[in-house]
Amino acid sequence: MGLLSKSTEYALRAVLYVASRKDAKYVSIREISDELGVSFHFLTKILQRLTRKGLVVSYRGPGGGVALARPAGRITLMDIVEAVEESDLFTSCILGLAGCGEKKPCPLHGQWARERTGLGKMFRQTTIAKLAGHVVRDKLRLADG
């Protein structure tokens, strides 16, 4: 099992792509799906979710597309993950036990809680701006290959 769902992977890649071309006003979903090599219609649904959540703004018609709703430096990975992913990786028990916590821990609770905290910190502290800058400077790819 991957850490993130396909939907979340695509959402992150799409947002990073948009951020990495901040010269453009709106970036069309068709361009994004072509560049990322993913299904146009599927990506459309995912980006609509981000639009409804207010992370992205969209515009219809020629020259339209999507753009970030706020500066990339104020959007974190966690913002995207929470908007798309439903199950909460950062609070649930690694053995899937309901009610696992400090009071009634599962045998792995302590160790998993530590790892989970580190992961959460990474997602909360990393901004789209930082990664998009990384992409532009080092010419990193957002597609397979």
Partner DNA sequence: CTATTTTCAGACATCACAGTCTGAAATTGG
Partner DNA sequence: CCAATTTCAGACTGTGATGTCTGAAAATAG
Could you say which of DNA, a second copy, none residue 79 binds, taking C-beta under 5 to 8 angstroms by partner kind?
A: none
Could you say which of a second copy, DNA, none residue 122 binds, taking C-beta under 5 to 8 angstroms by partner kind?
A: a second copy
Chain positions contacting a second copy, by CB under 8 A: 1-6, 8-9, 12-13, 16, 77, 85, 87, 89, 92, 94-99, 104-108, 111-112, 115, 118-119, 122, 126, 131-132, 134-135, 140-145
63 is an interface residue for DNA by CB under 7 A? yes
- In whole angstroms, give the CA distance from residue 101 to residue 105: 5
Q: Is 47 left (phi over 0), alpha (psi -120 to 50) or beta?
A: alpha
State the nearest-atom distance from the C-beta of 6 to DNA, in Å: 3
Binding residue for DNA, selected from 14, 16, 29, 75, defined by CB under 7 A: 29
Q: What are phi and psi of 111, to 5 degrees?
A: -65, -45
- In whole angstroms, give the CA distance from residue 55 to residue 9: 16
Go through the chain and tell me how many residues it has. 145
Residue 62 neighbours by CB under 8 Å, 6+ apart: none
Q: Which residues bind DNA (CB under 7 A)?
A: 5-7, 10, 28-30, 38-39, 41-42, 44-45, 47-48, 51-52, 58-66, 86-87
